[in-house]
Structure 1
Amino acid sequence: MAYAVPLRAQAAYPNRQIRMIVPLAAASAVDVAARLIAQKMATNMGQSIVVENIVGAAGIIGASQLAKAAPDGYTIGGFNDSILTMVPNLNPATPFNTVTDFAHVSQVATIDFSIAAATGAPWKSAAEFVAAAKAAPGKYTYASGGNGSPQHLAGALFAAHTGIDIRHVPYRGASQAAQDTAGGQCDVTLQGIATVAALAKAGKLKLIGVMLDQRHPEYPDTPTLKEAGINGFDFSTWFVLTTPKGTPRDIVDRLHREVVKALADPEIKERYAAVGLKPSGTTPEKTAAIVQEQLTRYGKAIKDNNIKGD
């Protein structure tokens, strides 16, 4: 989808349409975040931004296209932390280096996570699900957006933290995982609230736990994990705007300024908050440091918990 704006006087950059690669399924949390900010940035910059979903291989296909794109600011990426910090730790054959092959612009937002089940599921809280899973090891399933996805890692770490044995069912995208959980094909899914919001509000999914310090204002009846007696477990993901390595610093800085400007807009603040997105807007340097730190931290967590990519 292209977000078009009226023609007006342009600076040297941008002077033509920008393409944003999102290597994730449409309607996923990052896709929602990317489309909202792309629309606002397009208006502010005076150029269209086309958001293109290129899915497959846990995001590797789309991310590889960005890594190989011309470093001119006209092909940018909207990535989640899975592509940058989880997949490389699970797949040694990842064909790019997430630290050196990209010029990261900004961590745009962090994404609050939840545990969701079909509306007709018997559990009213995460604690009830954990109790059921402990009573029947290997019986219950959790759906994810694919091997190495945030939902995969969240589910595996949650299972390790609570001492339960639940089976992983990978899908090609987080939104499909949420839809099949709503349909009863899987028991639960650990998802960004932005991904499950529409299904929850339509009464097709129910949130049985949120990974927040306080209850989410959009879901006041859903207890936090701490309220349910599950202490010490926290999980969230994030959305980064990035570019190919070699992109001129003045273009990276311009894109960062536009991210910060868009995030300050009251409409973006309101729409992000409604779906569990917390604006960030970090500098390129801070963003690169976040990627490196989490790449190292998740590498240890994946090894310590024996999490496999298949």
Structure 2
Amino acid sequence: MKRRIALLTALAALTASPYSFGETAFPQKGVTFIVPLAAGGGTDILARKLALNLGAIWGQPVVVENVSGASSIIGTQRVARAASDGYTLLVTTNGAIVSNRYLFKSLPYDPDKDFIPVAQLADIDMVLLAHQSLGANNLKELVALAKRDPGKVTYASYGNGSQPHLLMELFNKREGIQITHVPYKGLGPALTSVMAGETMMTLTGRGSGDAAIRSGKTKVLNYNSDKRDPLHLEVPTSEESGYPYFRVATWHGVFAPRSTPKDVVAKIHRDINKVLNQPEFREDMAKRGYAIPTRTPEEFAAAIQEEVKATGEMVKAAGLAPE
């Protein structure tokens, strides 16, 4: 009789559990997202929206902590050294995982060995945004203009090693032209310089550049994507323009310390996908110019390695030496 009661009690507890049979019981306490970038930026906003929705699914608090500084190195290192239990996760962009390996002689973490890609949250295709006065309306016309006046046309970047810097220097090398680099301390100042006509162009995410586009002071020369932007169907893609290599995208992703159990990684990935597929979440991301990918952790990892190779080529073209 006592055994029967004990069995019934155990079955009742299993039925009441929020986890289905065989599913990893994660999380059992609060989870921390480390964002190695300043509060208020695109990565921070996305991390906080994800945290709010995951918290509702998990019934546990998900806290976002901004640990910025040193080109994302400080926050990224903290996650690399965290316990491999899934309770401390990194929410970051390309720089920490891809670019930093080329920009610094040594890193306090190994971007390949210290992390497991858990989920890709968003892809942000870039646009080549130019001042209205620029005498070119597409990449072919830009190449012709740069050949006529070497060094006269300028582009703004958000610092040495940033995506505009790397891609434009590859463009210079491939096409045998000289478009002059003007580095700024961040995307905001770079966009402001283009709107004011201080520099002639920059690369930005469509969402980030929306205000500049709507201002009437700028124009879009090119869209770095597989498909045309539905909001700017008149703008060709890089491949349509004849420059398929002229492409770079920013992504946001979630990473766990390397030895995190596979079942925990799989559970986090599944639950993040639940959030990404919520209609309200997808609608908000679309307004920001973010595309939501459907990659598995393995596919995300493979895409990162492809990007590592492409970035290496751009760094070489830019003549950058690690500091």
Change in CA separation of 1:67 and 1:118 when aligned onto 2, cut-off 3 Å: farther
Tell me whether 1:269 sits opposite 2:272 in the alignment.
Answer: no
- 3-state SS of paired residue (1:195): coil
1:100 aligns with 2:113: yes
Deviations 1:92-112 (A, max 9, x none): 222211111112212223221
Q: 2:155 aligns with which of 123, 142, 149?
A: 142
The answer to whether the 8 Å contact 2:105/2:322 transfers is: no
1:56 aligns with 2:105: no
The reply on whether 1:114 has 2:131 as its aligned counterpart is: no
In the alignment, which residue of structure 1 is the partner of 2:92?
A: 79
- Paired position in structure 2 for 1:41: 54
The DSSP-based 3-state class of the residue aligned with 1:57 is: coil
SS of alignment partner, residue 276 of structure 1: coil
Decide which structure has the larger Cα Rg and report it: 2
Structure 2-normalised TM-score?
A: 0.77
CA distance in 2, matches of 1:110, 1:60: 22
Work out the CA distance in 2 between the residues paired with 1:53 and 1:128. Answer: 43
Task: Return the offset for 1:242.
Answer: 0.6
TM-score when scaled to structure 1?
A: 0.80
Instruction: Calculate percent identity across the aligned residue pairs.
Output: 36
Amino acid at match of 2:145: A
Residues 1-310 of structure 1 aligned to structure 2 (within 5 Å): 13-25=26-38, 30-31=43-44, 33-118=46-131, 121=134, 123-203=136-216, 205-303=218-316, 306-308=319-321
AA aligned opposite 1:86: S
2:11 alignment counterpart: none
- Alignment partners' CA distance in 2, 1:24 and 1:124: 34
**Aligned CA distance change for structure 1 residues 306 and 253 (closer, same or farther; 3 Å):** same
In the comparison of the two structures, how many residue pairs are matched?
302
Native 8 Å contact 1:71 1:246 kept in 2: yes
Provide the rounded CA distance (Å) in 2 between the counterparts of 1:55 and 1:184. 31
Q: Kindly provide the amino acid, as one letter, of the partner of residue 237 in structure 1.
A: T
Q: Encode CA deviations 1:157-201: one digit per residue, 9 max, x unaligned.
A: 233333322233334443443344334443211122233234434
Tell me, in whole angstroms, the C-alpha distance in 2 between the residues paired with 1:195 and 1:186. Answer: 18
CA distance in 2, matches of 1:174, 1:55: 16
> In 2, Cα distance between the equivalents of 1:244 and 1:17?
17
Counterpart of 2:9 in structure 1 is none
Q: Quote the offset at 1:301 in angstroms.
A: 4.6
Task: Go from structure 1 to structure 2 and tell me whether the alpha carbon gap of 1:121 and 1:30 turns closer, same or farther (over 3 Å shift).
Answer: farther
Unaligned runs of 5+ in 1: 1-8
The separation in 2 between residues aligned to 1:124 and 1:293, in whole angstroms, is 30
For residues 294 and 226 of structure 1, do their structure 2 counterparts lie closer, same or farther at Cα, with a shift above 3 Å needed?
closer
Q: Which amino acid aligns with 2:266?
A: D
Q: Distance in 1 between matches of 2:235 and 2:47?
A: 27
Structure 1 residues 151, 95: CA separation in 2 closer, same or farther (over 3 Å shift)?
Answer: farther
Could you say what secondary structure the match of 1:151 adopts? helix
CA displacement 1:194-218 (0-9 Å, x = unmatched)? 3323443455643221113432012
For 1:67, the aligned partner's letter is: A
> 8 Å contact 2:129–2:220 — kept in the other structure?
yes
Q: Structure 1: which amino acid aligns with 2:259?
A: G
